[in-house]
Amino acid sequence: MVFKITDAPIDVGRVIEQVEDRNAGAINTFIGTVREMTKGKRTLYLKYDAYVPMAEKKLAQIGDEIIQKFPDAKVSIVHRIGELAISDVAVVIAVSTPHRGDSFDGCRYAIERIKEIVPIWKKEHWEDGTKWIGDQRETTAYPSGKPRKEDLI
Amino acid sequence: MVFKITDAPIDVGRVIEQVEDRNAGAINTFIGTVREMTKGKRTLYLKYDAYVPMAEKKLAQIGDEIIQKFPDAKVSIVHRIGELAISDVAVVIAVSTPHRGDSFDGCRYAIERIKEIVPIWKKEHWEDGTKWIGDQRETTAYPSGKPRKEDLI
Amino acid sequence: MIRVLLFAELEDAAGARELDLSLEEGTVSDVRAILKEKHPNLNAIDQAMPAVNEEYANGDDKVKAGDTIAFIPPVSGG
Amino acid sequence: MIRVLLFAELEDAAGARELDLSLEEGTVSDVRAILKEKHPNLNAIDQAMPAVNEEYANGDDKVKAGDTIAFIPPVSGG
């Protein structure tokens, strides 16, 4: 199991290998890629930045949370930072479990948690400007400057 | 988009490439592998057999069904047949969509439909015998010899 | 002549994956009945879904010479 | 000395990713108040989650010389 922030292209096959297990019948993989069009706006490229040591800790914490839910799961998560072009892979999550439903649920949980607690930021570069994108989950983000209690596990 | 039955090892990376798209932000991949232990019984190896031309048609139909639900989706499914050892990859499904939720839902739909309508059979080889496994979904399978109407789309 | 395909435990029970039936015309149910009469150990065919020319079919669907009818036991891919 | 880390729009607004505060002891809220006084364009720090030594913290948590406090704007990984 590997939890890593990298500035190099991600080898999807390697991430999958890291969760292989004789008693896994299912591996679910989520690959987040750079999409060209969002709400009618054309992205030229993206820049990801991270608070690297804390981000790696939080990715590992997400792995632990998944194993609490699904004790036989194996999890690996690699997130890339730096400048990414359209279709480049930003994140790869792999979750193996004995039965298929848990692999889907564990992987889905991981991507939602990444968007809640992992200190990684995306800066969109459009033809007409740039913007740091916050809060993709479109929840109201820390209005008092305090994290919600459940994010502090 | 590729829908194929093969007797060769599946190249996961190739299946993923086949669904890449500039407007995909998400690729969900399901990999079904041969698990060693099931309900306390040790599998030595498996044999998969298929009604190949009909199975490939039904895989393509599942792709069509997903695109009906998620018009921007791209889908590829490759299923291996023949003798498979523990940890070998039996099936790879890749679904790309603009947004992540649809990629998970489309991929999950695909694996459930495979277990309903695609003519592929698995023969378990244990230390103490063999058995054709039917009906993994544990629904009562065609009690009257007739498929359920919703399986006849 | 109608071509019959049997898979998995049905193939094992019949000792053959493919059979030819000398029938000019009939229904899926007719074919099933003939097969059970010829091969008394093919009882599991009652739990199989019929498919005519690679599409799932019902018992009262017609088959004629030249068609392929397959009997599909509960599937277990994935 | 307390080490302060700023990211994303906070880094852009302060013109620096890292600042040193000459403070021996205080709370997370104290640090936030000092930063806003020194950098009037750091208002967005109110929407940021504080983290002390790489763990999320609350406003009344203590910080002391040698600690690192980071202000984490709403995240957007994935």
Q: Is D77 on the interface with A (CB under 8 A)?
A: yes
Taking an 8 Å cut-off on Cβ atoms, the answer to whether D32 and A55 are in contact is: no
Q: Does the pLDDT value for residue A151 go beyond 50?
A: no
Residues of C in contact with B32 (CB under 8 A): 78
Residues of B in contact with C28 (CB under 8 A): none
Question: What's the Cα-to-Cα distance from B123 to each of B152, C49, D50, rounded to whole Å?
Answer: 25, 19, 56
The DSSP code sequence of A11-62 is -HHHHHHTT--TT--EEEEEEEE--SEETTEEEEEEEEEE-HHHHHHHHHHH
φ/ψ bin of A31: left (φ > 0), alpha (ψ from -120 to 50), beta (otherwise): beta
- Residue B86: CB atoms within 10 Å: 16
D6-33 b/e (C-beta count within 10 Å ≥ 16 → b): bbbbbbbbbeeeebebebeebbbebbbe
Give the gyration radius of chain D's Cα atoms: 11
Q: Does the pLDDT value for residue B59 go beyond 50?
A: yes
Contacts of B125 (CB under 8 A, 6+ apart): B43, B44, B45, B46, B47
What is the pairing mode between strands B37-38 and A37-38?
A: unpaired
Q: What is the pLDDT of residue B151?
A: 45
Q: What is the pLDDT of residue A153?
A: 38
Which amino acid is present at B24? A
Q: Tell me the per-residue pLDDT of A99-123, one tens digit each, with 9 for 90 and over.
A: 999 999 999 999 999 999 999 999 9
- Percent helix / strand / coil, chain D, rounded to 5: 30, 35, 35
The lowest-confidence range among B53-57, B119-123, B145-149 is B145-149
Q: Is D5 on the interface with A (CB under 8 A)?
A: yes
Beta bridge pairs of residue A33: A89
Give the residue, A133 or A151, on which the prediction is more confident.
A133
Q: Tell me the per-residue pLDDT of D28-67, one tens digit each, with 9 for 90 and over.
A: 999 999 999 999 999 999 999 999 999 999 999 999 999 9
Give the closest of B25, B34, B37 to A32, CB-based: B25
Taking an 8 Å cut-off on Cβ atoms, the answer to whether A24 and B32 are in contact is: no
Please give the ipTM for the structure prediction. 0.92
Give the residue, D60 or B138, on which the prediction is more confident.
D60
Please compute the mean of the pLDDT values over residues B7-12 and round it to a whole number.
Answer: 98
Q: Is A80 on the interface with D (CB under 8 A)?
A: no
Q: Does the pLDDT value for residue B145 go beyond 80?
A: no
Q: Is A149 on the interface with D (CB under 8 A)?
A: no
Distance between start and end Cα atoms, chain D? 34
Q: What is the pLDDT of residue A134?
A: 81
Collapse the DSSP code of C53 into the 3-class scheme (helix H, G, I; strand E, B; otherwise coil) and give the result. coil
CA angle at residue B115 from B112 to B120, to 5 degrees?
145
Q: Which residue has the tokens 């639900």?
A: B69
Chains A and D touch (3+ CB pairs under 8 A): yes
Q: Is C25 on the interface with B (CB under 8 A)?
A: no
